[in-house]
Amino acid sequence: MSSVIYDRVAFVGLGLIAGSMSLAMRRDGLAGETVGTARSAETRSVAAEINLVDRVVDSAAEAVADADLVVLAVPVGAMGAVAAEIAPHLKPGCTVTDVGSVKQAVFDAVLPHLPTGVHFVGAHPMAGTEHSGPRSGFAELFEDRWCLVVPGPEAAPAAVKRLETLWTALGSSIGRMEPKHHDLVCAVVSHAPHLIAYTMVGVADDMQRVDEREVINYSAAGFRDFTRIAASDPTMWRDVFLTNKDATLEILGRFTEELFALQRAIRTGDGDHLFDYFTRTRAVRRGIVEAGQDTDAPNFGRGTAKE
């Protein structure tokens, strides 16, 4: 029995997520053919050189021709322009999906351009690294991770189920959400933490009383992990914060309130408050480990500090 889920899959954008999807599909025979394109000629050249997809083409219109699944793997700010470009070339009955970490803005940008009979099903694989570009992908990226599926209002149940079958085959567990709830959840677990990481690294960079070499040489795990997060793609994260503004600002407001309470506890010597707070937050970390989303191994299982 064939394991092919889609006969032809088109990727618009060939970075970490699209590359990892393509490699996993090839490994497990989930697609009859994979076709890809990217805005940059250099990216297209590298993708062809490393055989990231079966066929690299020069334009999005050419990529989506006769595709059963179209994956929009571009920054959120580019989604509307890409949707307008590919709309006249989409196969009737095909599914269009995205892999962005914001959903309401993507729906607002993409849906007006799609013709009747095309199914839009948003997806957000909760997996990634700080690396980007066509060489960054690897087939195991989605294993034992979650993929949040956000169906468009006109998407047929069969199209939604088919995409969920693909993500399950890629190794992910499936969670379904409405767009606005998705954006709030991701503001908590991803967007605000990234902004805080960027801020902490920026603070260290601005402190003239601490030498840059000291920051680099003596970084303990906490600051080092901030720098790992802050190394993520600047274009993607710029678009995330501009398009998920309300949810991110709400979470940052709550964060500010918590931070003020901790400042007060430190200033007044309220050790009980600090101990209780750290005990509660430690339990959250324990829950993440128990859910299989990380490890309690020394150094979080990331090997030596040199890696």
- CATH 3.40.309.10 assigned to domain 6-177? The reply is no
Please count the other Cβ atoms lying within 10 Å of the Cβ belonging to residue 61. 16
What pLDDT score does 62 carry?
Answer: 97
Residue 168 scores a pLDDT above 80: yes
The residues pairing with 69 across neighbouring beta strands, listed in sequence order, are: 9, 95
Residues with Cβ within 8 Å of residue 40, at least 6 apart in sequence: none
Domain with CATH 3.40.50.720 in the chain: 6-177
| pLDDT at position 99 over 50 | yes
Q: Where in the chain is the domain with CATH 1.10.3660.10?
A: 181-269
Domain 181-269 has CATH 1.10.3660.10: yes
Taking the CA atoms of residue 285, residue 300, residue 128 and residue 185 in that order, the dihedral angle to the nearest 10 degrees is 10
Are the C-beta atoms of 150 and 124 separated by less than 8 Å?
yes
Ordered DSSP codes for 28-88: HT-EEEEEEE-S-HHHHHHHHHTT-SSEE-S-HHHHHTT-SEEEE-S-GGGHHHHHHHHGG
Q: Averaged over 273-302, what is the pLDDT?
A: 71
Residue from 67, 3, 5 nearest 35 by CA: 67
pTM (2 d.p.): 0.79
